[in-house]
Structure 1
């Protein structure tokens, strides 16, 4: 098949005094891939995301924060580098400090000259980065149990819920749920211990909804995948494999995380979610998948730490887990560089050769474009692609390049299955 793949983003060669000099640091720098970097773990002296989760939940396990104020301060320090020249605090001249933009309270500069030079770029995103800065703190409530909050049963059929507006119309108690968290003790603790003024209640209400929407976006994406492939959870139980999951999906995971599917498909015959990925964080969901199906009308979550093709060989082929009715992947990122393409190759070929219905999401139209071409190069049959009606409402800062336009989780999707039809 003739190559039609656009040139992929090239690797970035970091300077020795910049935030990018850590080889395990900010990931896929020029590819609009946001997220918590391993450089953050390094600066917090943590070996993995399990320790990070334990710390923010207050279960220190040897990771000592003397108080909440110190914890929030150290977490904020991991985001501090000059947006103009990329220098870290430790590489500044004696007496120099990084100072925040007073408008967004998100990006930092080592000198007024750096800030002045960077302003033409920063002013385009300053307001939305103000929201990112609020969300970054409010997201702590995911670890206190305040988020995600309970949702209401659906009064519409899945086919009639075509986007967020339709979903929100069924949530009559949404405002009360948000206000309860705003007036709660954990919200008070948060703003008592961070180095900034508490935003007004309307800002906090919107932040809570944005974070809730990111959580729900993953669940509703699974529901979209079920519908796209015409699967009927009312006739038989369904098994969904989530492939390539990481700390983003599993760091605060709970056994109830996908219960929204029971609202979406009321009285279903049972749905199993198996989360598979090399960065799965230990927690209650890390338990064996089901061999035979459990009780009706329930969602069962399990997880496996490892690559998907390894999980297939070691567990599925031995009959220790059910084969999937559909496979879902959130932001695989294989567009970012050749190494990631190669890492995903065994999984993509497995999905193709076993003719498994697959549904992947992307952060942006650019990522969709590159991913689409890679799938075509592998002669995979693409059934559909486009913007998602359930994109997260929370802007995601590309942490290594803060003045790039923020992206949004699950903003685009591509669904594919099997081989391209052969000509002739």
Structure 2
């Protein structure tokens, strides 16, 4: 059964109070650069937000470009505005053009005066934004099939793999795979069409690794949560629900995306991963969750479109899906605005009242503190929180405010279960 989710209206003015993070994020662009959301629609050949939403949910039809060169050009143009005064190209004086920072190739200025004025801020992040500019192009290889790269079986038990250094120490074939991807045909096509110099092979390989780390960070977060809660899939089959899953986790998702858990827990009895969220994108994983466990030593990935508490009422309580041994949330964002908090509140209360082991990741320490405050107000029993040793290594730039320090996916976590214990 398909869960009911709130109707998505077309706002007359930018809004950030929706239960949909896509909508909140899209229109929050305008708070930094007025008019940026419309520029993005125009450059991507979309007539309205409905088409944009359809695209990120995997439903778009007829949105195409004549060639790769046009596609990459239009994508880059969505980043073109003056970083100092926020002026868009359409608002420049006649004969005036935006100039790009020659060091990072990431930010733009309308005048030398704006660039000089902005330099005290920009110099703090210029080197990092150069990596961001490379990564957002190389990330295209996620859609060509070049990424993610295959991984090797673990030579150590999961308890001994405590961070990326431990993981990399088991990946003897990673360097040749990075080299093959950086010298492949799709990488050549990319830099032939983007209109900027091709970086050194070492820079491209580093970029490939950063993007690979973001992909694996989610899987390793699930495995880390299982270990922290003492849940052993080798002892019995386990079900994991990913609450609040969005287009970020499901666009282009494949049934094999969580197979690193096979390496982490060799010989396991079966692991089911169900991605649940109102922004789940259509694709191979949008298939029903299991009613009974599948084959041993396999990870079964499925997805359900809808708010998590509706999924619980419509599917789990009717025994059309297994109850979870663990619930994970990647960047729930309920701290960001009232609309997202209202959308999450029934789910948070459900997790608390059903005493479900839960593990959420966030982008930064500031977001962690804000999220902890909300969980404490809800009298959640927070078991621990802190820096995630498997944080993604790819820096994330805030589109409309590029000079803010980049953040990293899954950089921090909070682990909670049930209500705060009450004194007798």
TM over 0.5: yes
Q: CA deviation at 1:343?
A: 1.7
The residue aligned with 1:5 is: none
The residue aligned with 2:329 is: 329
The residue aligned with 1:245 is: 245
The residue aligned with 2:226 is: 226
Q: CA deviation at 1:29?
A: 8.7
The residue aligned with 1:299 is: 299
Query: Is the deviation greater in 131-140 or in 99-108?
Result: 99-108
Residues 1:38 and 1:275: Cα distance change in structure 2 (over 3 Å): farther
The residue aligned with 1:9 is: none
Mapped partners of 2:255, 2:65: distance in 1:
28
Q: Secondary structure at the match of 1:239?
A: strand
Paired residues in the alignment total 397
Mapped partners of 1:90, 1:26: distance in 2:
19
Match status 1:70 vs 2:74: no
Is the contact between residue 138 and residue 207 of structure 2 (CA under 8 Å) also seen in structure 1? yes
Structure 1, unaligned stretches of length 5 or more? 1-12, 15-21
Mapped partners of 2:241, 2:41: distance in 1:
28
Q: Secondary structure at the match of 1:416?
A: strand
**TM-score, structure 2 as length reference:** 0.89
Q: CA deviation at 1:61?
A: 3.5
Match status 1:406 vs 2:406: yes
Residues 1:240 and 1:361: Cα distance change in structure 2 (over 3 Å): same
Deviations 1:280-303 (A, max 9, x none): 111111111111111110011100
What RMSD in Å do the two structures reach over aligned CA positions? 2.2
Match status 1:181 vs 2:181: yes
Deviations 1:50-78 (A, max 9, x none): 535879xxxx8411200000000111111
The residue aligned with 1:316 is: 316
The residue aligned with 1:156 is: 156
Mapped partners of 2:31, 2:361: distance in 1:
19
The residue aligned with 2:282 is: 282
The residue aligned with 1:25 is: 26
Mapped partners of 1:399, 1:199: distance in 2:
22
Q: Secondary structure at the match of 2:26?
A: coil
Mapped partners of 1:165, 1:38: distance in 2:
43
Q: CA deviation at 1:110?
A: 1.6
The residue aligned with 1:205 is: 205
The residue aligned with 2:366 is: 366
Is the contact between residue 269 and residue 296 of structure 2 (CA under 8 Å) also seen in structure 1? yes
Q: Secondary structure at the match of 2:313?
A: helix
Match status 1:51 vs 2:51: no
Residues 1:175 and 1:30: Cα distance change in structure 2 (over 3 Å): farther
The residue aligned with 1:10 is: none
Runs of 4+ in 1 over 6 A off after TM superposition: 28-31, 36-39
Is the contact between residue 246 and residue 280 of structure 2 (CA under 8 Å) also seen in structure 1? yes
Deviations 1:350-390 (A, max 9, x none): 10011110000011111001100110000110001010110
Match status 1:343 vs 2:367: no
Mapped partners of 1:23, 1:96: distance in 2:
32
Residues 1:353 and 1:40: Cα distance change in structure 2 (over 3 Å): farther
Is the contact between residue 28 and residue 336 of structure 1 (CA under 8 Å) also seen in structure 2? no
Is the contact between residue 105 and residue 130 of structure 1 (CA under 8 Å) also seen in structure 2? yes
